[in-house]
Amino acid sequence: QSALTQPASVSGSPGQSITISCTGSSSDVGSYNLVSWYQQRPGTAPTLMIYEDTKRPSGISNRFSGSKSGNTASLTISGLQAEDEGDYYCCSYAGSSTWVFGGGTQLTVL
Amino acid sequence: QVQLVQSGAEVKKTGASVKVSCKASGYTFTGYWMHWVRQAPGQGLEWMGWINPNSGGTNYAQKFQGGVTMTRDTSISTAYMELSKLRSDDTAVYYCATSRSVGYSFDIWGQGTMITVSS
């Protein structure tokens, strides 16, 4: 199982929108509508932001949205806020009851 | 409330074993698979495997097969992850996580347990 590919870092100014990509393969991202996204702030456990490609858990701001095309999933954060800073990870179900994470993307709010 | 509480940080010697616990509360422990995820210092998240607390069945990522053992004690709603033959590159924070209401994602996480392996 190879890790999903994410950009190492992205940045944006407050109020702007940013998108983080997550590229897998036809064995994981492309085969299942089961990509999830996690936010992790320093020293804390990850928090689920998006599941099943596009769904938001209760309590997550609608500024966060997920999409997918082929083997690439994306997380978009609109109306960027300082509190959005942190690391973001994608994760996909990869079949045979296994999962795979992306390498992570560090988001900086300028 | 729903929570997972993990055991405390440990320092181990190379070649030793370590067992991390994860106590669940606020939900039916046997109803949801428990996953383990690790994060080396400054690195990303890595899925290690899961245990079905109801049956005891497990599935490990290929990388960890032969080196990790996941067990559970349903009487105390606790899952365990044991890592053997520790190496320095096993130094990481280990998290337990479960999918209580979101199917194939992880909506509840433990606070993490730091395992440091040194010679």
Among A25, A36, A30, A21, which Cα is nearest to A2's? A25
Q: Is A50 in contact with A75 (CB distance < 8 Å)?
A: yes
- What DSSP letter does each residue of chain B carry, written as one string? --EEEEPPPEEEETT--EEEEEEEESS-GGGS-EEEEEE-TT--EEEEEEE-TTT--EEE-GGGTTTEEEEEEGGGTEEEEEE-S--GGG-EEEEEEE-SSSTTS--EE---EEEEEE-
Q: CA-CA distance, B68 to B85, in Å (whole number)?
A: 9
Nearest-CA residue of chain B relative to A35?
B105
| A82 SS3 class | helix
Q: Is A89 in contact with B44 (CB distance < 8 Å)?
A: yes
Q: What angle do CA B106, B107, B110 make, to 5 degrees?
A: 85
Please indicate whether, in this complex, the C-beta atoms of A51 and B103 are within 8 angstroms of each other. yes
Nearest-CA residue of chain B relative to A96?
B59
CA distance A17 to chain B (A): 24
B50 touches chain A (CB under 8 A): yes
- Mean pLDDT to the nearest integer, B23-38: 97
Q: What tens digit of pLDDT does each residue of A39-86 get?
A: 999 999 999 999 999 999 999 999 999 999 999 999 999 999 999 999
| Nearest CB neighbour to B44, from listed A45, A47, A101 | A101
pLDDT at B80: 98
Q: What tens digit of pLDDT does each residue of B93-117 get?
A: 999 999 987 779 999 999 999 999 9
